[in-house]
Amino acid sequence: MSPTTAASPAPAPATDALPKPSPGAKRSLMGSLIDATALLRAASFKEDSYVAAALPASDLRALADLRALLATHPDQISIWGVPLNPPSDAPADERTDVVLLKFLRARDFRVRDAHAMLLRCAAWRAEFRADAVLDEDLGFKDLEGIVAYMHGWDREGHPVCYNAYGVFKDRDMYDRVFGDGDRLSRFLRWRVQIMERGVRSLQLRPGGVNAIIQVTDLKDMPKRELRAASNQILSLFQDNYPEMVARKVFVNVPWYFSVLFSMISPFLTERTKSKFVIAREGNVAETLFKFIRPELVPVQYGGLSRSSELENGPPKPASEFTIKGGEKVFLEIDGIEVPVQQ
């Protein structure tokens, strides 16, 4: 059964109690922890609507202006199989405005900026052959279900993508995947393949499920070794998958994550900050269960789900939420940049 929109508000981001600094800790550290706690407990925002009747007049004008700009292009532009400048005599496709609104929101409804972003995305997809990547065997079957994989749905029907890079603390594994430029390029293509699976599972229609959930496991994450890969993944996703993440859940988080978050927080919008959920080691299952039913959470995170392919479809949602934003930002966790907005 397809998820449907409900009016109940999204749950507030979950946070763990932060450890008390030792008596000898510097006041600046204590201040950072206090500030971070306040930031991480910010209220959650209501999902942006894709229903035309619910949009303010300024957003509708921007949407009409973007359509007008795209209508001047002689060639047809499609992204994720959605026509973005269909011929005037073509049947209406309700997905078109959903995709256009994603680009507009990523650029705060600055029409020309959204238009430029969209054209760059279309050009990248053509050069990268993104539409063909789902059918490719890139040789990373052993990483499926471990490093990056789609698995189940949250309580609102959003598909969930899990990311865990701790396996690369093993040097042999690291060298096999990232040992040279060609291997890194193939890994990046594989990571895009996972993202494309997530996007293709979305409805991309007004009132539908139009974003995924990202769960990022920071346990045993290598320090600086993954810098190049994480930077490139961040850049690809920020530039080419706007407004595709409804919530970002960090699990097995080290204590100093909150301090780092407090440092970049002034550069983030309230909407962007509201998407974060923080779970330290020992509180992973409790946190995930607030958003995902136990039977849909992988066993390694305390859940009951063992299959990487769930066959019964997503649960009926109780509510929906998404976060407006679009900043290209990252957190540096023990020397590695971790994407926090896609």
- Digit-by-digit pLDDT tens for the chain (342 residues) are 444 444 334 444 444 433 443 444 443 443 433 344 444 444 455 668 899 999 999 999 999 999 999 999 999 999 999 999 999 999 999 999 999 999 999 999 999 999 999 999 999 999 999 999 999 999 998 898 899 999 999 999 999 999 999 999 898 998 888 888 888 899 999 999 999 999 999 999 999 999 999 999 989 887 677 877 888 898 899 999 999 999 999 999 887 776 777 777 777 777 777 788 888 888 899 999 999 999 999 999 999 876 544 444 444 433 332 333 444 444 443 334 444 444
Give the ranges where the chain is alpha helix by DSSP (H): 27-40, 57-71, 95-106, 111-128, 171-178, 181-200, 227-240, 257-264, 270-274, 284-291
Partners of 338 in the beta sheet? 331
Q: What is the CATH number of domain 52-128?
A: 1.10.8
The reply to whether domains 52-128 and 132-301 share a CATH topology is no
Strand-pair category, 212-217 with 78-79:
unpaired
The residues, ordered by sequence, that sit 6+ positions from 315 with a Cβ below 8 Å of its Cβ are 153, 155, 157, 293, 296
Radius of gyration in angstroms for the set of CA atoms belonging to the chain, rounded to a whole number: 20
CB 193 within 8 A of CB 233: no
The pLDDT of residue 260: 73
- Spatial CA neighbour of 100 closest among 60, 128, 158: 60
Environment class of 340 (CB within 10 Å of its CB; exposed 0-12, middle 13-18, buried 19+): buried
Tokens standing for residue 237: 């996703």
Quote the CA–CA distance of 78 and 329 in Å, as a whole number.
27
Q: Where are the domains of the chain?
A: 52-128, 132-301
Number of alpha helices (DSSP H) and beta strands (DSSP E) in the chain:
10, 9
Tokens standing for residue 100: 């256009």
Domain 132-301 sits in CATH 3.40.525.10? yes
Quote the CA–CA distance of 74 and 92 in Å, as a whole number.
19
Give the pTM.
0.77
